[in-house]
Amino acid sequence: MTEYLTNYMKYVQERLEKCTGAEELGEIMAEHKDKIAFMQHERIVHFLVTMMFALILAIFIAVLVFTSNIPVLILVTMILVLLMFYIKHYYFLENTVQKMYRVYDDILEKQKKLKETSE
């Protein structure tokens, strides 16, 4: 997903820079709106999964505190490592979706400029 989003952001920026017509800009806008919707869904799913793992980690930490069991300690460590990767990925998704909002604003700005120049 990280590579996909990074490539898409480069692609849409290049396409936006080269775009000179209102029709093409409309196509870029429609495609970008769809991608934003997909990534918002992806972001929500990853947020829920991350929170689920955080809750599971808290439960197993509580079990570890009361039992001092070595297998539970190993499990807590594994869940903690996994949770760190989920947080890192969620952080990337959150920041990229915010960048997508800024690109959306850039598209709107370019549409306004094209309308002004055509009048």
pTM: 0.78
| Separation between Cα atoms, residue 10 and residue 15, nearest integer Å | 9
Q: Is the pLDDT of residue 118 over 80?
A: no
State the burial class of residue 44 (Cβ atoms within 10 Å of its Cβ: 0-12, 13-18, 19+): exposed
In this predicted model, what pLDDT tens digit does every residue of 37-85 receive, in sequence order? 999 999 999 999 999 999 999 999 999 999 888 999 999 999 999 999 9
Confidence of residue 99 (pLDDT cuts 50, 70, 90): very high
Contacts of 108 (CB under 8 A, 6+ apart): 29
Looking at residue 21, the DSSP 8-state letter turns out to be S
Amino acid at 70: I
Q: Is the pLDDT of residue 14 over 80?
A: yes
| Separation between Cα atoms, residue 94 and residue 44, nearest integer Å | 10
What is the pLDDT, as a whole number, of residue 19? 83
What is the pLDDT, as a whole number, of residue 60? 93
